[in-house]
Amino acid sequence: MDRDELESLLAEKRILELVTAVRHPFLVNLFGCLQTPPACSWGLQFLHQHDIIYRDLKLDNLLMDAEGFVKLADFGLCKEGVGRFGRTGTFCGTPEFLAPEVLTEATYTRAVDWWGLGVLIFQMLVGESPFPGADEQEVFENIIQAAPRFPAHLSLPAVAVMRRLLRKDPMRRLGSGSGGARDVQRQAFFASVQWEELAARRVPPPFVPVLDSIEDVSNFDETFTVERAILTPPVSHRAISSSEQSLFSHFTYTADWC
């Protein structure tokens, strides 16, 4: 494991501990983590309030829990210490979700997360990316230069919120102002959402998965459920040094409510 991977791993654990400490309803919580013997418009708001930029908003990272509520998962690309005016410069993320400034500027702000929300809403309403391309380079060129085409069946509030989230200029992008997530939540597209009720999980989800037990995996693709659970073998079989082990001295964790 190189230094960047180590810092990413430890940052992800810190963020999960932060999320778990408040039992956040729309971010995955951490039940526990340990070392194996050989190697001994709510989720983003919470992260931004704690100066964390997410950088990987996409359908793959949205998971539904047993009660039908969606949670944001995978904090591996998060960056800590990035406040409203903070900037970072690591090139990372999923190609079709990258904000234009990630491709054109040396550094960028947490406004990239609101761009990602715009792409996500478009994909969920239209069924395809707002910036398609035959290859990655064409996708990047469209993200930088092209305007998304909104199908005629979309409502005006839907088009309006996407246009504001997909502004090329991050300073003008919805969510990047002092109001942050509140500015997004006030949009007409979300007029029917009872935000406080949703935060308390008192809004009935439109779909609740049917489960026989807490261990029921029938809602997952069999491609994954038929695989045997095995530990990923290490690249190197050498024993880690005491100095390397010290980097994980406080890694083991169990949520106090488990």
Report the catalytic residues: 56
d(CA 109, CA 16): 22
Query: Is residue 20 within 8 Å of 29, Cβ to Cβ?
Result: yes
Name the residue among 48, 56, 113 with its Cα closest to residue 81: 48
Beta strand ranges found along the chain (DSSP E)? 32-33, 52-53, 62-64, 70-72, 79-80, 253-254
Q: DSSP secondary-structure letter at 88? A: B
